[in-house]
Amino acid sequence: MLAQCGEGCQKVNVVKRRASLCDLHTRVSSATVRSMKSYRVVLIPGDGIGPEVTEAVKQILAAAEAPVEWVQHEAGLTALAHGKDVLPVETLEAIREHHIAIKGPCTTPVGKGFSSINVQLRKKLNLYAAVRPVRSLDGVPTRFSNVDLVIVRENTEGLYSGIENEVTAGVVTSMKVATETACTRIARWAFHYAQQRQRRKVTVFHKANIMKLTDGMFIRCAEQVHEKEFAAFPYQELIIDAGCMKMVQDPTQFDVLLLENLYGDVVSDLCAGFVGGLGVVPGANIGDQDAVFEAVHGSAPDIAGKGIANPLALLMSAVMMLNYLGDTRGDEVCEQVAKRIKTGYDRALADGQKTRDLGGSLGTAEFASAVIARLRG
Ligand code: NAI
């Protein structure tokens, strides 16, 4: 039986190897299995609840003996407060050097001020694929069970191009950009991911009935990639309004969702609602060179500094990161550690150890301790 996402994934072509790893995992204690290598990972705590949840994640990864060495850098309001740019050059350079980062959320002013650091980072590093697994969790009862979706969001263009103009007083425009290169690239990434992980289907949500050129290009590129490279793989197109209606009726009918930038952003939070909220949905921004792992949620200014934020979404993102290291560097220890951490938080939730957003009473640090206590045995 294959698990189905980057957070708990097993890829088809490595099933055999991972099966033997599981055997190994039961026989050898964690203390005796150490990676030969340690990976330098850029850590950006970010703003709001960012520093609280990143601290919890650091502690859990240390307790699980994850072979990572943190290279801490700033971004967001925190960088600004220290007299730097919101996205300092040294932060970008560090990611380019080490190729991998984990990032807390960064605040973006609403309706004014600087443009989103997150969008800048994704564009500057060409992290074109946002992948966000959304799955039901034991111990987190919600309206639907057995939700197991993966959102693949185009991360570099669409309405996030940031090209806005005041045509004349009282008239403003925002430009939606679609390029054949980016649309084809993300479609190929989604089909490849879906096929490799034995997913059931790829569904594109679009509004090509209205945006005939931009969304028209998005679906045409998806159709072409499907037809030429993945013809046997189940594929579906839905106009996004009808798609959202079907989704809230029964999210289990969907599997991998392929969306342009804005739709992917909105649908990610919608899907988070199916499984317990933003505290439990991780994410990765992946390019051909670099990858930045971050939760779907923002800096949550309403609860920042109170020690009550749920660190699970960032912890799940860290598990995705370890699995990514395992996949791309062929390091089985990273995969073992990822599995150990996932077992730890699954057990904690099943034992009713939850933060307030999930109906529990634990604070951020208490939840981290509950996971650490369940890493072994
Ligand atoms: P948000 O995701 O920060 O918060 C929405 C709601 O979910 C709030 O009630 C918050 O308390 C709750 N929530 C979020 N994460 C939680 C967690 N880990 N544990 C418990 N509760 C949690 O979205 P909002 O309020 O729209 O945005 C706040 C700021 O974050 C804005 O400046 C926005 O631009 C930024 N943002 C940054 C992102 C990033 O860095 N990747 C992503 C989304 C928003």
For 276-324, what is each residue's pLDDT tens digit?
999 999 999 999 999 999 999 999 999 999 999 999 999 999 999 999 9
CATH architecture of 39-126+290-377: 3-Layer(aba) Sandwich (3.40)
For 270, other C-beta atoms within 10 Å of its C-beta total: 15
Measured in Å, residue 166 CA sits from the centre of ligand 1 at 29
Kindly give the number of the ligand 1 atom that is closest to the alpha carbon of 302: 11
Range with the lowest mean pLDDT among 30-34, 334-338, 373-377?
Answer: 30-34
Q: What is the pLDDT of residue 34?
A: 57
Q: How much is the average pLDDT of 331-355?
A: 97
Residue nearest to atom 1 of ligand 1 (CA): 298
Beta-carbon neighbour count of residue 163 at 10 Å? Answer: 11
| Residue 113: Cβ-neighbour burial (10 angstroms; 0-12, 13-18, 19+) | exposed
What mean pLDDT do residues 31-53 have?
A: 85
Distance 320 CA to ligand 1 centre (A): 20
Measured CA distances, 347 to 78, 140, 263, 274, 283 (Å):
34, 12, 33, 20, 21
**Range scoring the smallest mean pLDDT among 56-65, 155-164, 184-193:** 155-164
Binning pLDDT at 50, 70 and 90, where does residue 377 land? Answer: low
Kindly tell me if the per-residue pLDDT of 180 is higher than 70: yes
For residues 87 and 73, give the distance between their C-alpha atoms in angstroms, rounded to a whole number. Answer: 10
CB atoms within 10 A of CB 158: 25
> What letter represents residue 335's amino acid?
E
Is-above-0.85 flag for pTM? yes
> Mean of the pLDDT values across residues 103-108?
96
What pLDDT does residue 370 have? 98
Q: Which atom of ligand 1 is nearest to the CA of 314?
A: 18
How far is 249 from 234, CA to CA, in rounded Å? 21
Query: Which protein residue's CA is at the shortest distance from atom 41 of ligand 1?
Result: 105
What is the model's pLDDT at position 12?
44
Name the residue with tokens 């934020």: 309
- Which range (30-44, 84-98, 332-346) has the least confidence? 30-44
From 131, 267, 297, 366, give the residue whose CB has the most ligand 1 atoms within 8 Å, as the site to mutate: 297
pLDDT at 358 over 70: yes
Closest CA to 370 of 314, 297, 312, 313: 312
Residue from 39, 128, 160, 193 carrying the catalytic annotation: 160
Query: What is the Å distance from ligand 1's center to 57 Cα?
Result: 17
Residue 319 is predicted with a pLDDT of 98
Which atom, in ligand 1's list, is nearest to the CA of 313?
18
pLDDT surpasses 90 at 2: no
Catalytic residue among 138, 241, 250, 288: 241
Percent of the chain exceeding pLDDT 90 equals: 87
Residue 32's pLDDT band (boundaries 50, 70, 90)? very low
Cα(264)–Cα(159) distance, integer angstroms: 11
The whole-number average pLDDT for the span 205-217 is 98
* pLDDT over 80 (residue 75): yes
For tokens 């009808």, the residue is 242
**Interval 247-284: pLDDT, tens:** 999 999 999 999 999 999 999 999 999 999 999 999 99
pLDDT at 29: 41
Give mean pLDDT, residues 134-146. 95
Active site residue 263: no
Q: Are 50 and 105 in contact (CB under 8 A)?
A: yes
Query: Considering 11, 58, 123, 207, which one is annotated as catalytic?
Result: 207
Q: How many Cβ atoms from other residues are within 10 Å of residue 194's Cβ? A: 23
Q: What is the pLDDT of residue 168?
A: 97
pLDDT at 14: 37
β pairing state of 129-135 and 148-154: antiparallel
Could you tell me the distance, in angstroms and rounded to a whole number, from the CA of residue 39 to the centre of ligand 1? 29
More confident residue, 36 or 96: 96
Asked if residue 140 lies in contact with residue 280, where contact means CB atoms within 8 angstroms, the answer is: yes
Quote the pLDDT of residue 219.
98
CB neighbourhood size of 25 (10 A)? 18
Which atom of ligand 1 has the smallest separation from the CA of 357? 20
Q: Rounded to an integer, what is the distance from CA 214 to the centroid of its chain?
A: 25
Output the CA 290–ligand 1 centroid distance in Å. Answer: 24
Alpha carbon of 30 to ligand 1 centroid (Å): 35
In the block, tokens 């959202």 appear at 244
Ligand 1 atom with the shortest distance to the CA of 356:
20
241 flagged as catalytic: yes
Closest-CA residue to 309 (of 92, 93, 55): 55
Domain 143-275 superfamily per CATH: Isopropylmalate Dehydrogenase (3.40.718.10)
What ranges in the chain are assigned the alpha helix state H?
15-27, 50-63, 77-81, 89-98, 117-124, 180-196, 214-229, 240-249, 261-275, 312-329, 332-350, 364-373
Range(s) of the chain covered by CATH 3.40.718.10: 39-126+290-377, 143-275
265 is catalytic: yes
Q: How far is the C-alpha of 224 from the C-alpha of 181, rounded, in Å?
A: 12
* pLDDT over threshold 80, residue 339: yes
Q: Which residues line ligand 1 (CB under 6 A)?
A: 49, 105-108, 118, 278-279, 294, 297-303, 309-310, 313, 357
Beta carbons of 282 and 130 less than 8 angstroms apart: no
- Residue 333 has a pLDDT of 95
Q: Is the pLDDT of residue 1 over 80?
A: no
Q: Give the pLDDT mean for 104-129.
A: 91
